[in-house]
Amino acid sequence: MRASLVLMSSLVLLTTEAEASAPASPAAKATAPGCCAVLELRQYTLRPGQRDVLIELFDREFVESQEEQGATLVGQFRDTERPDRFVWLRGFTDMRSREEMLKRFYGGPVWKLHREAANATMQDSTNVLLLRPVPGGPTFTTSGVTRPPVGTSERPPSVVHVTLLHRSAPVDDAFLRFVRRRLLPVLAETGATPLALFQSEYAQNTFPALPVREGEHVLVLFTLFPSREHATEHVAKLARSRKWTMEVQPALRALLDAAPETLLLEPTARSLLR
């Protein structure tokens, strides 16, 4: 696979299932391999025609300036199905470092200089999920990855598929066993082994100036495809799979509070996840 975020470990989930089922465990005390013991999945709804304006500004001014303050900019994306949606992933080592980084960046000179231009592109920036890795599952790592330099305009052909599984209660051992033993194998058979697995982080949002969605219980699967055609091929294979349509999909629906939510994302020219 090209210069991109790669699997931190092989897809062997739930080596510590009891730990995974503790919904209130604060990420401030967590230790996780890879870049992101805490991950923000941020979906911004922009004003019509403003997405490329924000992406040009973001990739130029808001990547290194945030990482210098302690965050990891995992990826920036265009939502392929929503022309006014900009999606990005920001990681932290723990909740305390998140709070400190956000205070430094949003109180610092780069944001103050460019915030009016950035905010002018946005209708809503509150669609944010706070996540933590599923223990024992794959997560993101930046080891050996080089981000394209400022000024790069060529966009990679790859796409990132994000699946959000919404529950009425916290993700527990039984649900994770179902994911490991029944869902992930059929995804792998149809060409979609997840790159990373995250679940809701329930720690208090200690930077309330940036709201997050609270009281939600989700499991989020991130899958990287080399092209949009490969993603389409996976969807077609899944639809043809009797194991999926007759066994796994009905069982999954019974375990969820709503239909799975999917995002198909195109990395920007400077996205690390590409």
DSSP of the chain, one letter per residue?
Answer: --SS---SS-S---TTHHHHT-TT--GGG---SSS-SEEEEEEEEE-TT-HHHHHHHHHHHSSHHHHTTT-EEEEEEEETT-TTEEEEEEEESSHHHHHHHHHHHHTSHHHHHHHHHHHTTEEEEEEEEEEEEPTTS-----TT--PPPTT--PPPS-EEEEEEEEESS---HHHHHHIIIIIHHHHHHTT---SEEEEE--S--S-TTS----S-EEEEEEEEESSHHHHHHHHHHHHH-HIIIIIIHHHHHHH-SSPPEEEEEEE-TT-S--
CB 83 within 8 A of CB 54: no
The CA distances from residue 81 to 54, 55, 108, in Å, are 18, 17, 34
Whether residue 4 is predicted with pLDDT greater than 90 in this model: the reply is no
Whether residue 16 is predicted with pLDDT greater than 90 in this model: the reply is no
In this prediction, what percent of the chain has a pLDDT beyond 90? 83
Whether residue 119 is predicted with pLDDT greater than 50 in this model: the reply is yes
pLDDT of residue 26: 36
Here the tokens at position 240 are 């043809």
Split at pLDDT 50, 70, 90, the class of 23 is very low
Cα separation, 267 vs 92, in Å, equals: 20
pLDDT of residue 145: 84
pLDDT of residue 231: 97
Mean pLDDT of 78-103: 97
pLDDT of residue 143: 79
Whether residue 8 is predicted with pLDDT greater than 90 in this model: the reply is no
Mean pLDDT of 130-142: 91
Whether residue 32 is predicted with pLDDT greater than 80 in this model: the reply is no
> Average pLDDT, whole number, for the chain?
89
- pTM of the full structure: 0.89
pLDDT greater at residue 109 or residue 34 = 109
Split at pLDDT 50, 70, 90, the class of 35 is confident
CB 54 within 8 A of CB 121: yes
**Cα-based angle 238, 244, 249 (whole degrees, multiple of 5):** 115
Split at pLDDT 50, 70, 90, the class of 175 is very high
Mean pLDDT of 157-182: 97
Here the tokens at position 274 are 């590409």
Mean pLDDT of 186-193: 96
Split at pLDDT 50, 70, 90, the class of 141 is confident
Whether residue 7 is predicted with pLDDT greater than 70 in this model: the reply is no
Cα–chain center distance at 219: 11
pLDDT of residue 142: 79
Domain formed by 31-267, architecture:
2-Layer Sandwich (3.30)
Residue entry with tokens 């790669």: 6
CB atoms within 10 A of CB 96: 16
Residue 22 neighbours by CB under 8 Å, 6+ apart = none
Cα separation, 61 vs 56, in Å, equals: 9
Task: Enumerate the domain spans of the chain.
Answer: 31-267
pLDDT of residue 34: 61
